[in-house]
Chains A and B, each alone.
Chain A
Amino acid sequence: MSDDDHNDDPSDDDRTEPAPSTHVGRRAVLGIATLGAAGIAFGASIDNAVGGTLTRISSDLGGLGALVPGADEFRIYTVTGSIPIISPASYRLTVDGMVDQRLDLSVDDLRSMKRTKLVHYFQCVTGWRVPSVHWEGVRLADVLDRAGVQRGGTALRFFSGDGVYTESLTISQAQLPDVLVADRMIGNDVTPEHGGPVRLYVAPMYGYKSIKWLDRIEVINEVIPGYWENYGYAVNGWIGGSP
């Protein structure tokens, strides 16, 4: 190992003698790794502090804005090749399985039921978060009451209109007051990108539990893990690991 001094002798005329060297390379690698570790440790606070500013920068940049890290914006995820476009007029939410009465609810049916509004963040399991999202719809508990859950019906299976995505909740999770069958968010009818016309919003759990393009709710007698849960995500997707 050489010394850390790289003073060069100007009188050295042998232009092929190796010059004194310093371990800059490994220091740079360690420096980058340290920066990364600091980012992991303090990134959440930085993200929360500057997210609003970054969001404004991001929207000023138009199409390139999506590249700004840390902006408080939704990232649109689909597990199939395209976004399902479902006409709100012909939409029906089916509730079946272990119920007294099968339901086929239209958007108007949902709008005639008792409405609930929430303002709550949307937290993705991979770490991004959108603060203060306005949600509006019908409590899942009220939908289940209307169908009448039969004895032994202890779990729900949700099916997406994309034909692939599924999700799960226990009945007691579904009874929580901040679990909505949402038909409005961010002040508008839910758009196709966000899972419209009707999606689920499970406030205390990670975003993957809030199934988009909600098509059917089946009442069953045991939890069947949903799409991401088959890839290893927690079936009980509580944000932070506990309710």
Chain B
Amino acid sequence: MSLQARPGTDQPAPRPRTTLERFDKVERAVHWTTAVLMLELIATGAILYIPSIALVVGHRGIVENIHVYSGLALLLPLIVGVAGPWRERLVRDLRRFDRWTAADWDWFHPKRRPRAPLGKFNGGQKAEAAFVGGGMVVMLATGVLMRFAPPSWINWQQGATLVHDIGFIAIAIGVVGHIYIALNSPEQLKSMLTGRISRSWAAKRTPIWVKEADEGKP
């Protein structure tokens, strides 16, 4: 990570580092393994769900098994991430996702003057986290019912199929939106790749987090 010189800005005393660590290795590993699983599940799910693609690809037995077993693995990166002694940063960020301040609600009204400064994540990011987190649980539960429920649970299975189908469309839209926003936020995308983000960006967008980071809770 190069230290960026910021000519023209009016910062008094230059800080030792012009970047902050936004995501540690554990968080990035959890993010990217989950991302790869998620994209693969969407691809195999599309093959299983959309008839015109199913007809071109065929091989339903193989595709179904890839989809089912990678689906069972979907929460593993997150579970491993919070299970070990390396959990500190990840757990702290999960708590941040949980807690909404007035600033997070105001984020959805860009024209209104925010009632409070933003923390590490904004309302949109927190909403996405809750949506993906709840969505993964629902897709896992309904998927297990579809594949492994005993035959006498047929009504629940039919319900699970309906939920899984709706969930597929919702999550596919959510993931496309997530990628679209990431590509339009190069500084944040870079932080998920390298872990670091520029202090000046953070000071402007997430002032509370900069303070927390300086107090040793990045």
Contacts and interface: CB of A to CB of B under 8 A. Distances in A.
A79 B54 CA distance: 10
B116 A33 contact: no
B154 interface: yes
Contact of A22 (B50, B64, B100): B100
B158 A39 contact: no
Interface string A1-45: 010001010101001111111111110111111011101111110
Interface residues of A, number: 66
Nearest to B168: A69
A6 B115 CA distance: 11
Given A69-B165, A126-B157, A23 B61 contact: no
Contact of A32 (B101, B130, B142, B162): B130
A240 B156 CA distance: 11
A76 B51 contact: yes
Given A6-B101, A238-B151, A239-B151, A29 B159 contact: no
Nearest to B157: A127
B99 to A, nearest CB: 4
Contacts of A28: 127, 130-131, 134
Contacts of A20: 101-102
Given A76-B54, A80-B59, A69 B162 contact: yes
A81 interface: yes
B66 interface: no
A46 interface: yes
B138 A66 contact: no
Contact of B141 (A16, A26, A40, A242): A40
A187 interface: no
Interface string B145-157: 1110011101111
Contact of A40 (B103, B134, B156, B207): B156
A55 interface: no
A33 B136 CA distance: 9
B160 A43 contact: yes
A66 B51 contact: yes
Contact of A39 (B131, B150, B163): B163
B158 A128 contact: yes
Contact of B137 (A2, A32, A123, A242): A32
Contacts of B35: none
Interface of B: 49-52, 54-55, 57-61, 64-65, 97-104, 115-117, 119, 126-127, 129-131, 133-135, 137-138, 141-142, 145-147, 150-152, 154-163, 165-167, 169, 207-208, 210-211
28 contacts: A2-B99, A12-B116, A16-B211, A19-B101, A22-B99, A25-B126, A30-B134, A32-B130, A36-B163, A40-B156, A42-B159, A43-B161, A63-B52, A66-B50, A67-B49, A69-B169, A78-B54, A78-B60, A79-B59, A80-B59, A125-B151, A127-B146, A127-B160, A127-B162, A128-B161, A237-B151, A239-B151, A241-B150
